[in-house]
Structure 1
Amino acid sequence: MLMDKKSYLFSDIINLPGISKITQKILGKLCGTRIIDVLFFRPCRYIDRRNHPLTAKSGEYVTFTAKINMHKPPAVRNKPYRIILELEGQQLTLIFFHYSVKYLKQALPIGEACVISGKLETFLEQLQITHPDYISLDISSFDEVCRIEPIYRLSRGITSRKISKIVASALKIMPEFPEWIDGNFVEEKGWLSFKISLSKLHNLDSLEEMEMCRLRLAYDEFTIQQIALRVARYKQMKEKGRKFLVRNKYKDQVMRRLEFELTQDQIRAINDISNEQQSQHRMIRLLQGDVGSGKTVVALFAILNAVENNCQAALMAPTAILVEQHYSWFKEVLSGTDIKITLLTGKIKQKERKTIMPALQDGSLDIVIGTHALFQERVKFKDLALVVIDEQQRFGVMQRNSLIQKGNSVDILFISATPIPRTLRQALYGDIEHCSLKEKPKCRVPISTVATNIKKTSNVISSLKRAIDLGKKAYWICPCIEDNESLSVAAAEERFAQLQKVFKENNIGLIHGRLEQKQKDEIMLSFRVGEISLLVATTVIEVGIDVPDATIIVIENAENFGLSQLHQLRGRVGRGDQPSFCILLYDKLNKSSHLKLKTMRESQDGFYIAQQDMLLRGSGDVLGIKQSGNIEFKFADIYKDKELLNRAYSKAKDIVENDPTLTEIQNQPLKELLNIFGYNEEFEFLR
């Protein structure tokens, strides 16, 4: 039955034929645990094996049948083994550097015909293939090999061919779905059905149809996700929230303690948030701002509105360093008021916790600032009314919800220090209310940014030493080595050892992710108070660290960092009223990395830089959303497909405005797609 097949799609992959427990575990890590997850496991690239060696160019993949003419073992050890094939009156040589003579004689016996596929090479005008990908004496296998082969992201214990067979098995049980997209739009785009598009991504007839099929599925994905966001937003708006009475009880006291004048952006954001807190609906708002634009100040006034209504507020940040920084600043600004504030991190001792927990539960404490420690089940509040989540993209969905659920109709203020381009914000949040801070306090001086070849590192070190001798503070950021923390730490330790020889009379520190939190905090404190003048670091200091008198940052191998990450790192300086400098050390530049450094030199606008980052890297990595538990699109690219996103946004708006709970919707395929793309009946994210 059709419904049985649809249900089968959501069953465990172990139900597919030939899937062992080991394969189940590997696929679970690669793509997910359900059959539909395997179908959505998109190839990362394709190899076109349909070329013929007599017409193909060197470097192209070819597939052909030929007669095995001769074996030529090497005359000298450690030299390649050659097998000569006869191909339509010409010779083609197979080259093997690592081989078993016994295997080669069995696999390719002289006089037999065989099917070969591999990358074509020419050497001294002779055709050859080194270590063919496919060797078979079964001539009937030619059609199976001579195709556009999908290549999948792999893990130890599984091959791309094995995944391809599993996908083929899953496709056999996939049912057809009635079309839900307007027929005129499908015809205009030349799209195929949902099932055929998904099937062809794994079995292309031509490379040209790959993008057409992906775009069809991207539109499905965008539309379903936007519908889910709109329904969730509708439900949130229907929820009755806290209607605060904003009297600005603490405003004058706090304003007197601020050492700067609020920008117009800050004033506008504070007013917008206060107005929403006074409404009868729950506030769910995104506050995004450039580096150093004063987001924490805006968050403080939102917190004060909650506190003056006899409610509690929690501010959560991803690192102990950032949390302690927030806590110190809040304590200083709120001194002289009757507001009670506490700090809660993983390193708070049990004795202190025994005091903090009851005080939160009985309402004696008004504000708590903490890390992941706030998620703990034993952390309870008397009346939590506002949650501020700093660097929200670094927390998973479930983590955020575990804190939000500790109160009743809690208002939520998300803060992002990575400016989010409109397209990305729209995809991640739908039509969530937001406010942006682009202005910086008037006391801030623009940062001078230069790019220098790494061969001139000795000159940079000499200039840095002169500056530190004059009392300046500096960061030295070591190379970003993707997906290998051990190598990143090793690079930092090596640079630290080199710099120690130069800065003998100056205190120099080293900080990286392998250190215990206590060690990190002690080193940062030493740098902040001036016991350390030069801090060698990995990207552990990327976000939120505020040392106003640090005025120089050197970023080594800057071409290996993302644009937004470079902007965040640069933002560690220029936080006071002194001239600041950013030196980007580069090694080898390609077109992309040259544009990256050019953008950094010419602009300090985080919103523009984030937009350029999307252009260079695609959307998935700008906020690190793949690591955070947020939405990860399988087919769509937020930047490349923004025309489709805009259409999906409008389509979802029309659907949900006419039927906000989707209870009366007649489009059954649309409901099925909500399930297929990972949304349940409540339209919450299943992951």
Structure 2
Amino acid sequence: MSTIHLNDPVAVLHGVGKEKELELQQIGINTVQQLIEHFPYRYENHEIVPIHELEHEQKATITGTVQGEPLLRYFGRKKSRLTVRLVCDGILVTATFFNRAFLKNKIKQGEAVTLTGKWDKHRLTMTVQGFQEGEPDPSKSLAPVYSIGGNLSMFQLKKFIQTALKEYSSGITEVLPEEYLKKYKLPGKQSAYWSIHQPGSHEELKHARRRIVYEELLLFQLGMQALKRSKRMAAQGNKLSYDKPELKKFIQTIPFSLTGAQKRSVNEIVTDMLQPGRMNRLLQGDVGSGKTVVALIVMYAQYLGGNQSALMVPTEILAEQHFQSLQPFFENTGVKIGLLTGSVKGKKRQAVYEAIQTGGVDIVVGTHALIQEGVEFQRLGLVITDEQHRFGVNQRRTLQSKGEKPDVLFMTATPIPRTMAISVFGDMDVSVIDEMPAGRKPIQTFSAKHTMLERVLGFMKKELDQGRQGYVICPLIEESEMLDVQNAIDVHAQLSAYYTNYEVGLMHGRLSADEKEAVMASFAEGRVSVLVSTTVVEVGVNVPNASVMVIYDADRFGLAQLHQLRGRVGRGEDQSYCILLADPKSETGKERMRIMEDTNDGFVVSEKDLELRGPGDFLGSKQSGLPYFKLADVVLDYRALETARQDAQELINSSSFWEENEYSPLRDYLHRHGALRGEKLD
């Protein structure tokens, strides 16, 4: 073949007719390159193990000499059983093949055969799945297993991949610079592709996989870093200038000491704001870790620089709480704070609009009312979005467009594992508050069976009798024939009958926004003692008096969600409790309950959640931004991901990457995928 093109259609390969081409297309293989990059998802170990070392019902490969003639019997319609006796390691073994009558003429007395199947230690028999004439080939002890579909057999797919490798491997071009191959002792790309499909040993397979995983992660991280660079270059922000001693003096007026993590986050954000490029940073910290304090310090820095700040939150009640909680910190500073929500109407609303436009307020706290027409800022320097995943991309973008390229800070209490932060938010800088303020009492978490409900309700009554409040969370709004789980409407009725001296509120997703606000306000103000709710309270209001969280059917919830729900309590001075009502049938359900009892650390919980559910389920299948890798796994290959990110950062920031010839394959990749045009990678 004169010219090798990996993007040739698979039909060019010998043996791939129209029918097989359609079958390959059904599993996403259209080109030769896609066929070569259809990597095995596991390997079967065909290494020979001595008979006496085999466990009962173990899948194994044995080799031996055929004794006597094979015996073939038919039963039922077109069903057969072929029985063969052979001597392996001096022991007489019986091997049985089902529905493979054609092998009778291939198995000859006195000749060696190699068999793979399930071993019965007690009867010294094997039910055979794989057969090979002669002694085993040591270089083929690892057999690749591929995902297949339709009428395509594993044998056919392997044959097509072998053909593609033989005819097209010269078209597999190296993209990694020589220095990286040497630095990490990586095989060349062609060699790695051969080894991943035909590994000669475990060691060879390990190095081939390491090579392909590193390349996938490096290319992805290069795209992310290039995207970050192009955003920075395109979005020349407003370089902040402020009185540093004045900011330090303000921090000293805060009535408690900042944690090390809070100080670090403030420094990272302020350093960003001092740069001419526009800040694009994610601040993540567990519930109660003190993100609001970090936000108010950096908003004060903007005030000292003559700029306004906007803090956008998901609900009115949360906006009002932030508005009230910020006031005491700025009492003696001259900072003027405004509130803008859907409830601010008429002349009051007009007055807030005017104050924002003329600079009469320095900090505006609000809901999505901030992004409506009529809101014009005089000099917006910083946009903070709290629980940013609760707002659509367009809503966040609209708020950012209210100023002349303001700095942007996203805040979230949903702990995102570092693996996810690196891969999904790679085009953002990430600050993490991974330390809790001193003196906070850890929430005590217990799991209990549903049969213990009476005791659980009695325990909550004791807390209510001491003037405290509690949440009760249910998975569904009303009864479902599909799922045998408690529902909010029934539970509300039961608890209203049980707690006759206390007001029991009901909250769920089918209430209107105004109704939800009213229920939450009643709970926050203490008029409602017990709030029965679905997961709509997962991110919401701060009620320091709530000390008990009871979650029905807790094994139906993911770990991250359970942790978010638990974070609704433990906000006051009293000891708080989280009780998980569950009868988990699965090992995963039991493991989730155990993890919740063992740790209050949201980052530990999120890492465990990621391990249990995998990256796709963790973010939700519809979540864009999660990269698709052919071989790499952001959880298992975390170290390689970190290394690739550091290497990508160094490359993107070095002049040689943009000029020297050895990096041209990597630059070509960035051009092809649009990262240099500021487009997000798929």
Asked if these proteins are the same fold (TM beyond 0.5), I'd say yes
SS of alignment partner, residue 643 of structure 1:
helix
Aligned mate of 2:413, from 394, 412, 417: 417
1:193-342 → structure 2 map (5 Å cutoff)? 193-194=188-189, 212-235=207-230, 240-246=236-242, 261=256, 263-265=258-260, 266=262, 269-270=265-266, 273-274=269-270, 276-306=272-302, 311-317=307-313, 320-321=314-315, 324-330=317-323, 333-334=326-327, 338-342=336-340
- Return the alpha-carbon distance in structure 2 between the equivalents of residues 245 and 381 of structure 1: 19
What one-letter code is carried by the residue in structure 2 that aligns with 1:288? Answer: Q
Asked if the contact 1:273/1:302 (under 8 Å) is kept, the reply is yes
- Return the alpha-carbon distance in structure 2 between the equivalents of residues 470 and 210 of structure 1: 64
SS of alignment partner, residue 667 of structure 1:
helix
SS of alignment partner, residue 570 of structure 2:
coil
Seen in structure 2, the aligned counterparts of structure 1 residues 401 and 441 have a Cα distance that, compared at 3 Å, is same
Deviation, 1:417, is: 1.7
Seen in structure 2, the aligned counterparts of structure 1 residues 213 and 403 have a Cα distance that, compared at 3 Å, is farther
1:176 pairs with 2:171: yes
1:490-569 → structure 2 map (5 Å cutoff)? 491-492=487-488, 495-496=491-492, 499-513=495-509, 515-558=511-554, 561-569=557-565
Asked if the contact 1:86/1:92 (under 8 Å) is kept, the reply is yes
1:685 pairs with 2:680: yes
Seen in structure 2, the aligned counterparts of structure 1 residues 480 and 491 have a Cα distance that, compared at 3 Å, is closer
1:149-170 deviation line (CA, Å, top 9, x unaligned): 4237x9xxx89979x9799799
- Return the alpha-carbon distance in structure 1 between the equivalents of residues 380 and 647 of structure 2: 37
1:322-355 deviation line (CA, Å, top 9, x unaligned): x6403442256349864433236xx999999999
Seen in structure 2, the aligned counterparts of structure 1 residues 626 and 72 have a Cα distance that, compared at 3 Å, is closer
Deviation, 1:550, is: 0.8
User: Unaligned regions of 5+ residues in structure 2, if any?
Assistant: 11-16, 62-69, 86-93, 107-114, 131-141
Asked if the contact 1:418/1:568 (under 8 Å) is kept, the reply is yes
User: Which residue of structure 2 aligns with residue 473 of structure 1?
Assistant: 469
SS of alignment partner, residue 286 of structure 1:
strand
Deviation, 1:477, is: 3.1
- Return the alpha-carbon distance in structure 2 between the equivalents of residues 465 and 121 of structure 1: 59
Larger radius of gyration: 2
1:570 pairs with 2:574: no
User: Which residue of structure 2 aligns with residue 138 of structure 1?
Assistant: none
What one-letter code is carried by the residue in structure 1 that aligns with 2:223? Answer: A
Asked if the contact 1:603/1:609 (under 8 Å) is kept, the reply is yes
Seen in structure 2, the aligned counterparts of structure 1 residues 404 and 589 have a Cα distance that, compared at 3 Å, is same
- Return the alpha-carbon distance in structure 1 between the equivalents of residues 29 and 307 of structure 2: 42
The number of equivalent residue pairs is 624
What one-letter code is carried by the residue in structure 2 that aligns with 1:222? Answer: L
SS of alignment partner, residue 220 of structure 2:
helix
What one-letter code is carried by the residue in structure 2 that aligns with 1:417? Answer: A
What one-letter code is carried by the residue in structure 1 that aligns with 2:226? Answer: V
Seen in structure 2, the aligned counterparts of structure 1 residues 128 and 71 have a Cα distance that, compared at 3 Å, is farther
- Return the alpha-carbon distance in structure 1 between the equivalents of residues 524 and 606 of structure 2: 29
1:72 pairs with 2:76: yes
1:482-532 deviation line (CA, Å, top 9, x unaligned): xx9985986555655554553455433444445554444343333223343
- Return the alpha-carbon distance in structure 1 between the equivalents of residues 248 and 654 of structure 2: 46
Deviation, 1:574, is: 0.8
What one-letter code is carried by the residue in structure 1 that aligns with 2:212? Answer: L
1:70-109 deviation line (CA, Å, top 9, x unaligned): 4538xxxxxxxx9443344889697xxxxxxxxxxxxx99
1:269-308 deviation line (CA, Å, top 9, x unaligned): 4465445434444333332322212212321333344456
User: Which residue of structure 2 aligns with residue 78 of structure 1?
Assistant: none
SS of alignment partner, residue 341 of structure 2:
strand
Seen in structure 2, the aligned counterparts of structure 1 residues 276 and 562 have a Cα distance that, compared at 3 Å, is same
1:426-466 deviation line (CA, Å, top 9, x unaligned): 44555965544355455643322333344433322232233
Seen in structure 2, the aligned counterparts of structure 1 residues 257 and 350 have a Cα distance that, compared at 3 Å, is farther
Percent identity of equivalent pairs = 29
Deviation, 1:650, is: 3.8
Asked if the contact 2:302/2:381 (under 8 Å) is kept, the reply is yes
User: Which residue of structure 2 aligns with residue 462 of structure 1?
Assistant: 458
SS of alignment partner, residue 681 of structure 1:
helix
- Return the alpha-carbon distance in structure 2 between the equivalents of residues 61 and 358 of structure 1: 79
Asked if the contact 1:393/1:625 (under 8 Å) is kept, the reply is no
Seen in structure 2, the aligned counterparts of structure 1 residues 683 and 408 have a Cα distance that, compared at 3 Å, is same
- Return the alpha-carbon distance in structure 2 between the equivalents of residues 133 and 627 of structure 1: 39
- Return the alpha-carbon distance in structure 2 between the equivalents of residues 510 and 601 of structure 1: 27
What one-letter code is carried by the residue in structure 1 that aligns with 2:460? Answer: L
User: Which residue of structure 1 aligns with residue 341 of structure 2?
Assistant: 343
Deviation, 1:651, is: 2.6
1:380-429 deviation line (CA, Å, top 9, x unaligned): 76654322132345667777556545543321212232445655544455
- Return the alpha-carbon distance in structure 1 between the equivalents of residues 461 and 159 of structure 2: 59
Asked if the contact 1:447/1:579 (under 8 Å) is kept, the reply is yes
SS of alignment partner, residue 413 of structure 1:
strand
